[in-house]
Each structure stands twice: as C-alpha cells, then as structure tokens.
Structure 1
Amino acid sequence: MFGGVLAFTAIDNLRNLDEMVGYAESKGAPEPERTVPFISGSLLFGGIGIAAWKFPRLAAGAVAAFLVSVTPAMHDFWAIDDDQQREQELIHFLKNVALLGGAIAFLRIGQDD
C-alpha cells in the first residue's frame, strides 16, 4: 500500500506536469522544467519498487531522496504569512515527514533481502 500510494502520487505529478512545474517555479526551485519530471520519476520508481519488492533498498532510497529534497523546498510553512496557506503547507510538510519515516523503515527492512 505504501509503495502504491507513492506511485499514484508520482503519476499524478506527471499527469499534471505543467501545474507541478509552475508550483515548483513559484517556490524558486532550480530548473523546474527538468527537475520536476526527474524527481517525480524517481518517486514513481521508488513507489513501484517498494510495491513490487524489486530492489527494495534502492527503491526506498529513491523515495527518501525525493522526500528530503522536496519537503523543505516545496512545503516551507515557516515562510508563509497567510494563516490558511501556512496550515496547508504544514500539513503537507508533516505528511512528507511521516512518509520519510516509512521510507527509512523500508530502507532497513530491505537490507534483509
């Protein structure tokens, strides 16, 4: 289920690529036209890899790398003045931190294979 949700998220990012690139651009992400498809692809790889249990450590590492690189840049709740928007960014930030915890757990579990 964990991997499936991540893969779905990545597919959604890729299906709405223009919107995701625009959002990344608004957050000051470097070269969003190149980085957004690349990191969404790494999330897709990681999600499918975890779900299918193929290369589990590599897949979990891809997910962790995605979350570590994206979370503070895209969900910088501390820099938002609007209360409602800040709350939404905080929710996304905390969700990603929880997902990172899951990815780290899968990194450990994947060592046994």
Structure 2
Amino acid sequence: MEVVVLIGRILFAILFVGSGVNHLMQVNGMAGYAQSRGVPLPKVAVVVSGIVIIIGGLSVLLGIWADLGALLLLIHVVLSAALMHTFWKETDEQARQGEMTHFMKNVGLAGAALMLFAFFAYVDDLGLTVTGPLFSLS
C-alpha cells in the first residue's frame, strides 16, 4: 500500500512541479496571458503561483506536511480555473471549448487535491513520508 501511495504522489506531483518550474522559466509569456485574462499584477501572480505550486508539489511528493501541500495545490487550481479559464466569457467556439477543457481539468485536479488533503489529514500511518500531517481530521 505504501508504495502505491508513493507512486500516486509522484505522478500527481510531477504535473505541479513541472508547471511551477515552467511558470518561473516563462514569466513574461505567462504574464502576458494572465494579463489578457484580467489578472492584476500578472508578472507577480505568475511568479507567486509558480512558487506556490512548486512548494505544494514538492510537499506532496516528499511527504513533508503533504496535507498542507495538497491544500496549496487545491487553492491554486481553484483560482486558476476561476480566473484563467472563464470559458463562459468566450465568444469564439473553439476558444470556449479549449477554456472549458482547462476549467474542467482544474476542477478535477481540485477534487484530487481535496481528497489527498483529507487522506493525509485523516490517515495516521502513511509510511514513506518525511513528516506527519499538519492538520488532523480524525
């Protein structure tokens, strides 16, 4: 069981750590997109979101307060869905479909992050983690 959970954590975290690194390596391009979506202080938002998702991803990956890491990722994907993927505002059908796909992906990732938070905060012996949970739901 411990190895299966570890593999799941690795697969989940790869997406976020890679995305966070991309945020920091492509700040100007991503800030331009964020600005086009109406995000205030887009360059700062890109850098902060990149740092948050790297920290959250590494937290889940390494099992260092993984419950807190899952919460950080939950917050990120919910904000990203609500601010960046507003498909309901799109007039072009192709753009609407693309943004809806990204929105729904983020909703699904939010659900997975919420389940991970609950899992880490509830289960006493996770094994293969550096620390225990910061929060307790038991």
In structure 2, what residue type is equivalent to 1:95?
K
* Corresponding position of 1:14: 24
Query: Unaligned stretches of 5+ in structure 1?
Result: none
TM-score using structure 1 length = 0.95
* Corresponding position of 1:50: 60
What secondary structure is seen at the aligned counterpart in 1 of 2:59?
helix
Please show how residues 31-70 of structure 1 align to structure 2 within 5 Å: 31-70=41-80
TM-score using structure 2 length = 0.78
In structure 1, what residue type is equivalent to 2:22?
D
Moved more, 9-18 or 100-109: 9-18
**Deviation by residue 1:23-70 (Cα, 9 ceiling, x = unmatched):** 010011011121111011101111111111111111011101111211
Moved beyond 3 Å, runs of 4+ = none
* Corresponding position of 1:109: 119
Return the index of the structure with the highest Cα Rg.
Answer: 2
Identity %: 28
- For the aligned residues, what is the CA RMSD? 1.0
In structure 1, what residue type is equivalent to 2:93?
D
Q: Distance in 1 between matches of 2:96 and 2:69?
A: 31
Shift of 1:7: 0.8
